[in-house]
Structure 1
Amino acid sequence: MAGTTTLKSKTQPSLSIQKLLLVLGLVGLIWAPFFIYPIFVMKVLCFALFACAFNLLLGYAGLLSFGHATFFGGAAYFTAHAVKEWGVPPELGILIGVAGASLLGLIMGFVAIRRQGIYFAMITLALSYMFYFFCLQAKFTHGEDGIQSVPRGYLLGVLDLNNSFNMYYFVLAVFLIGVLIIWRFINSPFGMILKSIRENEQRAISLGYSVAHYKLGAFVMSAALAGLAGAVKALVFQFATLTDVAWQMSGEVILMTLLGGIGTLIGPIFGAGFVATLENYLATSEFPVTIITGIVFMVCVLLFRRGIVGEFYASRLGRKLGFEYRR
């Protein structure tokens, strides 16, 4: 009884503190557009969801993809084309983008999961390059000009998304739904099996699990959520260009995830916010953005091997607050 009481007294304050931090974070996001330029915050939310989708594959399935820009940019193109050329409402355009990204994920994943390690990463990079050149030559993408002046339209025929505040809260809702889906996914039996495959694939095979099917499922789920981020981003900025499908975009999401901390739910969000803020402030300065971000990345790899959030979770203060780093 004494042991049980002690356990409860240690656990309940930790959970209450975590819930308090979560509530404060939500309140901060709700009030953010009143103090920060809404377009910038929407950009951060889109890239945060993109990083969380990538982390689902790397952090929980142990698969390093160099081709996630395919799903992010592909969905942006599909959504922009559907909304502008077909005149579909924004919610249907986003669904088309997510469906297109899921299909691309199914095709790419079916080919790539046959290999492991660096071979898997190189296959995803090669397939991503193929899609990049397809977008460069395809008529519906308009080549180097991209798809511009994409109308935001009316959500469900009622809410005018041309209003910045309406658009922001729509993006915030999509972001929260996406993060909730990821949280539910990684805490489901499917997610537990993924973690076991990441830790010891041969043991998972010996237990009778179809490893290829689980990997493919994680790949498609990650692609769909990355596509959701790209589709919303196309509506926020009202264009889709080759930058969205270039290999640099894949490298950027890897940087965001590693900076924040792989295998953590909050880490990629923090990493995306950090990188986006750094790029935003350095864009008007004389400092080359790529060099600065490269230096930041090297410092993080050398000093924060678990990422910034991962190191905090593993610290004494993080453990005291009830956080755990299980990577």
Structure 2
Amino acid sequence: MILSRLAGRPAPLAVGLAAALVLPWFVYPPVALDIACWALFAAAVDLLLGFTGLLSFGHAAFWGGAAYGSGLIAVHSGLPFPVAILGGAALAAALAVPIGYLSVRLRGIYFAMVTLAFAQMVYFVANQWRDVTGGENGLQGIPRELFGLDLSDPFFFYYAGLPFVLAGFLVAWRIVRSPFGRVLVSIRDNPARARALGYSVERYKLLAFVLSAALSGLAGGLFALGHGFASLQEVYWTTSGQAVMMVVLGGIGTLWGGAVGAALVVELNDYLATAGFQETGIITGAIFIVVVLLFRRGVWGTARALLARRGAPRPEQREPAPSEAGRSAETVQAEG
């Protein structure tokens, strides 16, 4: 069922898959891995922001928590790195249950501030629990074991970790295309009406929050193992802000726009850092302002709208529509 639906949109999927496969041939492999991880992180944030209407500034807790969790599993257990990554994602999901339960009853800026407060609590714990996390020095020397294979080369590890990113995007796509995802959109647009229709709004929000956290943890665990360390930067609130910026740049509610925004931000930061420019935030902030002012739907959202407008038939070219009265009854039955 999923594959048949994916086959209905071969062009964008083929382009995206091809770009993911050839990316480390055109950019430095560690940067390519950063783009892939941040793309999945941005998609997870967009699942909550674009499709549920919840702006979270606390997702660094799940990205960073999974980074530490995956690192600790890899360091102390010696298990293959896929097990460590999945363990980090499970830790992020478990952490999201109490945080989400206490947060989803709030809306707007109150929800954003509460999630930010919880993220700062995780940052405080990571900083003070030095015996486990390494404190300011971070968790270093994280291995990347896979049944004796040498994955120390970033080029090979990129392809070893890419299936996790692709699987995460597939899960996110399936969520937004499912009846559950359509309920989330209805809650975003009109929570009172969704509640009147019998949907438990808080329960749906909580489940969306946990799923978003799990995908964020999947990306964070892969990021930590790819670099071989986990630092306090992963749980700092600016990490959440950067993911939100990527979503806005690419296009809120587009899911794939997060990948475009991640590629732009990561590649720009790498270029500026290589050139010796220290204040990268000035440039990225200026670009963010320009995109918000000129491309209200984001880069990917604007491009998709333009392509849809160009591909739409002109009024004189359209076939006569069937009887609206006949169609409306069938539509209501189908939607019901």
Q: Tell me which residue corresponds to 2:28.
A: 37
Stretch moving more, 166-175 or 245-254: 166-175
Partner residue, 1:6: none
Residue type at the aligned position of 1:55: D
- Aligned pairs (5 A) from 1:294-305: 294-305=285-296
Identity %: 48
Aligned match for 1:151, one of 138, 143, 155: 143
What is the alpha-carbon distance in structure 2 between the residues aligned to residue 257 and residue 201 of structure 1? Answer: 23
Over 3 Å counting, the alpha-carbon distance change for 1:321 and 1:85 in structure 2 is: farther
Give matches, 1:53-132, under 5 Å.
53-132=44-123
Q: What is the alpha-carbon distance in structure 2 between the residues aligned to residue 60 and residue 21 of structure 1?
A: 21
1:158-188 residue CA offsets vs partner (Å, 9 max, x unmatched): 5432243331112221111110000001111
In 2, Cα distance between equivalents of 1:16 and 1:230: 30
Tell me the distance in 1 between the aligned counterparts of 2:18 and 2:96.
34
* Distance in structure 1 (CA, Å) of the matches to 2:277 and 2:224: 29
1:54-75 per-position Cα deviation (integer Å, ceiling 9, x unaligned): 0000010000001000000000
Shift of 1:30: 1.7
Deviations 1:77-99 (A, max 9, x none): 00111111232221221121011
State the one-letter code of the partner of 1:148.
Answer: Q
SS of equivalent residue, structure 1 residue 214: helix
Which of 304, 317, 329 is 1:313 aligned to? 304
Instruction: Report the 3-state secondary structure (helix = DSSP H, G, I; strand = E; otherwise coil) of the residue aligned with 1:140.
Output: helix
Q: Matched residues in 1 for 2:118 and 2:104: separation?
A: 13
Q: Does 1:227 align with 2:217?
A: yes
Q: Deviations over 1:276-309 (max 9, x none)?
A: 0110011133351011111111112211111111
Q: TM-score, normalised by structure 1?
A: 0.89
In the alignment, what sits opposite 1:140?
132
**CA–CA distance in 1 between the matches of 2:51 and 2:41?**
15
Distance in 2 (alpha carbons) for counterparts of 1:25 and 1:267: 11
- Distance (whole Å) between structure 2 residues aligned to residue 314 and residue 21 of structure 1: 14
| Aligned: 1:218 with 2:208 | yes
Measured in 1, the distance between the counterparts of 2:246 and 2:282 equals 15
Deviation at 1:190, TM superposition (A): 0.5
Query: Can you give the 5+ residue segments of structure 2 that lack an aligned partner in the other structure?
Result: 1-5, 313-336
2:177 aligns with one of 151, 173, 187: 187
Per-residue deviation, 1:18? 4.9
Residue 7 of structure 1 corresponds to: none
1:203 pairs with 190, 193, 201, which one? Answer: 193
Q: Is the 8 A contact 1:137 1:143 kept in 2?
A: yes
Match of 2:168 among 171, 178, 200: 178
The whole-number CA distance in structure 2 between the counterparts of 1:177 and 1:159 is 22
In structure 2, what is the equivalent of residue 164 of structure 1? Answer: 154
Q: Which runs of 4+ in 1 moved over 6 A?
A: none
Deviates more, 1:18-27 or 1:55-64: 18-27
The equivalent residue for 2:258 is 268
* Cα distance in structure 2, aligned partners of 1:59 and 1:134: 30
CA RMSD of aligned residues (A): 1.7
- C-alpha contact (below 8 Å) 2:47/2:212 kept by paired residues: yes
- Deviation for aligned residue 1:115: 1.0
Counting matched residue pairs gives 305
Equivalent position of 1:3 in the other structure: none
Q: Does 1:51 align with 2:42?
A: yes
CA shift in 2, pair 1:321/1:101, >3 Å: farther
Check the 8 A contact 1:153/1:162 in 2, yes or no.
Answer: no
8 Å CA contact 1:45, 1:171 repeated in 2 = no
Cα 1:167–1:129, aligned 2, differ >3 Å: closer, same or farther?
A: same
| Contact kept in structure 1, 2:154 and 2:226, CA below 8 Å | no
Aligned counterparts of 1:82 and 1:147: Cα–Cα separation in 2: 12
Letter in 2 for 1:140: V
Distance 1:16 1:215 in 2: 30
Structure 2 Cα separation of the partners of residues 319 and 270 of structure 1: 21
